[in-house]
A = this chain, B = another copy of it.
Amino acid sequence: MGGDHGPHVLLLAARNSLQKLPKLQLTICGHASAYAQFSDDLDVKTRLRVDFVDCDEVVTMTDKPTTALRKKKRSSMRKVIDLVKSGDVQACVSSGNTGALMAIAYYVLKTLPGISRPALISWLPKGQGKKVLLLDLGASVNCDAEGLFQYAVMGSVLAEQCSHIHEPKVALLNVGQEDIKGNTLVKHADQLLRDCPSVNYIGYVEGDEIFSGDADVVVTDGFTGNIALKSSEGIAKLVINEIKQATIETFFARLLSKLALPLLKKLYQRINPDQYNGASLIGLRGIVVKSHGNASAEACYYAIKQAYEEAENAVPDKIKTKIESVLMEH
Chain A positions within 8 Å of B, measured between CB atoms, are: 64, 99, 125-127, 138, 141-142, 173, 175-176, 180-184, 206-212, 220, 222-224, 226-243, 245-247, 249-250, 252-253, 256-257, 259-260, 262-263, 266-267, 270-271
- Does B231 contact A231, Cβ atoms closer than 8 Å? yes
How far, in angstroms, from A125 to B175 measured CA to CA in the complex? 21
- The 8 Å CB contact of A228, one of B180, B183, B228, B241, is B228
Contacts of A242 in B (CB 8 A): 127, 267, 270-271
A258: shortest Cβ distance to chain B, in Å? 11
Q: Do A259 and B262 touch across chains, with their CB atoms under 8 A apart?
A: no
* Contact present for A234 and B209 (CB under 8 Å): yes
A–B complex contacts, Cβ < 8 Å, 12 sampled: A99-B176, A125-B238, A127-B242, A141-B181, A175-B223, A208-B230, A208-B233, A211-B235, A232-B235, A246-B266, A247-B263, A253-B262
List B contacts of A173 (CB < 8 A): 227
Chain B residue with the shortest CB-CB distance to A254: B263
Nearest to A126 among chain B residues (CB) is B238
The answer to whether residues A237 and B212 also contact, given A141-B183, A142-B183, A242-B270 and a CB cut-off of 8 A, is yes
Q: Which residues of B contact A180 (CB under 8 A)?
A: 64
- The answer to whether A211 touches B231 (Cβ under 8 A) is yes
Q: How far is the CA of A210 from the CA of B229 in the complex (A)?
A: 12
Known: A183-B223, A223-B183. A234 touches B263 (CB 8 A): no
| Contact yes or no, A175 B226, CB < 8 A | yes
Complex: how many Å from CA A31 to CA B222?
Answer: 47
* Nearest-neighbor residue (CB-CB) of A243 within chain B: B267
Closest to A221 in B: B183
Chain B minimum-CB-distance residue to A129: B242
Min CB gap A240→B, angstroms: 8
A127 and B228 CA atoms in complex are apart in Å by 19
Distance between A187 CB and nearest chain B CB, rounded to angstroms: 10
